[in-house]
Chains A and B, each alone.
Chain A
Amino acid sequence: MPVDTPQNMTIRVGEDQPIRLDSGLELGPVTVAYQTMGRLNADRSNVIVICHALTGDQFVAGIHPVTGKPGWWDRLVGPGKVIDTNRFFVLCANVLGGCMGTTGPRDINPATGRPWGLGFPVITIGDMVTVQARLLDALGIDQVFCVIGGSMGGMQVLEWATAYPERVFAAVPIAASYRHSAQNIAFHEVGRQAIMADPNWHGGAYHEHGVTPHSGLAVARMTAHITYLSETALHRKFGRRLQNREAITYGFDADFQVESYLRHQGSTFVDRFDANAYLYITRAMDYFDLATEHGGKLANAFRHTPARFCVISFSSDWLFPTVESRAIVHALNSVAANVSFVEVESDKGHDAFLLEEPEFHETLRGFLDGAARHRGLPALAPEAV
C-alpha cells in the first residue's frame, strides 16, 4: 500500500455492542469513515490521531473528493511535513453526527427506513471520542502516540486524554478550550436559528421533502466564519474595498468585498455540509465542559493522565482565546502533569491553526520530535531507513 497517498475507508463499529451515548441512548451499528496516511509500524506505536473541527472532515491531506481542493491540513500532514507520514501512521475519522460518511442525521434510521433527521440522538464530544476509540479497537491499536486537533478537534483531544488516559502518550489541543463559553454558545445558537428559520428546513425532515435549507445553513456559516477571523485579518483582506464596482450602488447587493466573500463562504459550504449535522455538531460543542464533568474542578479531569501535553493558542483568536488554553495549563500544572504551552503570535484569528504559521508549525514539529524520542520511536519508519 503506498504510504504517500491518503487511504479513505469505512468500517462499522458497535455491531455486537451498541455505542452507549452520554445521553443514555444507545446507537449502533455506527459507520465510521476515516482516512489514513503512512504506515503502521510493527508494534503499532506510531499512530497519530487527528481530530477535525466543526466543519472539517476526515480528508486531512491529499485532494478532497468533494471539493477537489487540498485537504484541510494538507500543509501539515504528509511525507516530510510537520506531521511526517514517513514516520507516523496518521488517522483521521469523520466525527459521529457528521456528514462525510460517518453515521449522522442524514443517514437512514434502520428502525424507520427514513433519514434520521431530528430523530438522531443528540451526541457529545465524548460520544465522538468513544466512536474513535471503537475504531482503534477494531484496527487493533491500543495506544495512540499522539492525538492532535484544533478547535473542536482540540476538545476531542482533551476528551481523549481524560477519558482514555492510558491510551494517549501525547496530546496537542490547539486553539481549543475545556468548555464552550457563553459567547461561543451564543454564536452557535444564531447559526442554528438561521437554519431552523429556513422554510426548507421542515423541522429537520428536508431530505424527505426533496429540498435543503441552503440559505439558513449559509447564514450560519457566514456568522461562524466571522468568528474564525480577527478584525485585523478581515480588514487586511478586504478593508472597505468594493466588489467589482466603482461606487456604492445604494442597494443591497454585495457592494463590499467582505460581503461577497462571506456570501461565497456560505454558498460553497452548503454544497459540502448537511444542515442537521451542523445542528448536532454545534450542540455537541456547546455541551462540552470538562470541569463540570469532573466535579466542577478542571484539574480533577487530568489527575491521572500520564500524557505529555502541548497546549497551543493564537494571540488574535477571540473565539478560543489564550486565557482558555491557560486555564487548561493551570489545571495540568496543579496535578504536576507534563505540559508545554505556547501562545503563537498571529493576527489571523482562530483560523490560524489551519493557515501558514511557521512558529506554530515549528513548535508542533519540535514537540512531536521530543515526544517521539521519549516514546522510543526511530527518526524514520523502519521501512524507510
Chain B
Amino acid sequence: MHAPVVGPGTGWENNLGGGPEGGPGVSPAGGNGDLRFDLRLIADMVTPGARVLDVGCGDGALLQYLAVTKGVDGRGIELSMAGVRAAVRRGVSVIQGNADTDLADYPGGAFDYAILSQTLQATQRPREVLDHLLRVAAHAIVSFPNFGFWKARWHLVSKGRMPVTPGLPEEWWETPNIHFCTIKDFVALARRMDLVIEKGVALNENGTVNRLSATGPWANLLSAQAVFLLRRRDPKGGPVPNGGPNGGSNDGRRP
C-alpha cells in the first residue's frame, strides 16, 4: 500500500501509510509526470529493463511509471480491490493478494527488484515478508514511515498516547498498521538478517531527501520516512536452501 498522501508540503502525520484498506484511489499520482516523490525515489533505484514485483502496489502508478520510463517488466500485488482494478485499467499486471500469504507463490529469483512501499508496517510478519522479497528478487526496496521521528516521540511524550492524526486516523485497536518501527529498528533487523544495505535515503517531513546518513542516529530523529535498497550478503549462497518456489530461507525463520 503506497501511502495515500505523501508529497511536498504535507505533514509528518500525513506521510504515514494508510494501511491495506486505505484507498489507492486517493493517490495523487495521476499521470507519469506527477509520480509521488517517494515513489520517484524508489523508481530511481531500479535499473532499466529490470523485472520488478511491487508488493502493495496501490493503483499501479509506480509500475506504470517504471514501464513507461524504464521499460520495466512489472507485476504487482495489492490487497484492495479498488487498487487492483485501477492498476489493471492502467495496463499494469496486478493480482489481488496479500504480502503475508501470496509472496510464497512466486519462484525464487523471478525478479530483479521487489518493492515494498509503505506496506511493511501493515504486514503480519514483516521479517518473513522481507525474507520472501529477497527470495523472489535479487534486491528489495523498502520504504516505511519512521516512528523514531521526533514528532512521533513528542506525541508519545506529551500526550502519552499513540498518535491519531488525519493521516493515521485509526485508533491503535483498529489500525491495519500493526508493525510500526523506527529507522534504527529496521536497520537492526537488516543486520540480524545479515542483509546488505546498498543504499539508504532519509526523507524530511515535506517529502524531500535530507543529507543525513540513513543508518545514523540523526536520521532516526529527524526523518519522517526512509527508503532502503537491500540485498543478501551472498546472493548465490542463500535465498532458497530448501529449494522450490515455497522453499524456506536461511536465516533461522521457524517453520
Contacts and interface: CB of A to CB of B under 8 A. Distances in A.
Identify the 7 closest CB pairs spanning chains A and B, nearest first: A370-B91, A366-B89, A341-B95, A336-B110, A333-B105, A340-B88, A340-B93
Interface residues of A, number: 26
A178 to B, nearest CB: 15
Interface residues of B, number: 23
15 contacts: A330-B102, A330-B105, A333-B102, A333-B105, A334-B105, A336-B106, A339-B93, A340-B93, A340-B95, A341-B95, A343-B96, A365-B89, A366-B85, A366-B89, A371-B91
Nearest to B245: A334
Interface of A: 308, 310, 329-330, 333-336, 338-343, 345, 359, 362-363, 365-367, 369-371, 373-374
Interface in B87-115: 87-97, 102, 105-107, 110-111
A338 B93 CA distance: 7
Given A341-B84, A359-B85, A336 B107 contact: yes
Contacts of A363: 85, 88-89
Contact of B107 (A308, A334, A341, A370): A334
Contacts, number: 69
A176 to B, nearest CB: 16
B75 interface: yes
Secondary structure class of chain A's binding surface, majority of residues: helix
Contacts of B107: 334-336
Contact of A370 (B90, B96, B102, B106): B90
B81 A343 contact: yes
A340 B90 contact: no
B31 to A, nearest CB: 15
A87 B90 CA distance: 18
A342 B91 contact: no
Contact of A342 (B73, B88, B106, B111): B88
A130 to B, nearest CB: 29
A370 B73 CA distance: 13
Contact of A333 (B81, B88, B90, B95): B95
A339 B95 contact: yes
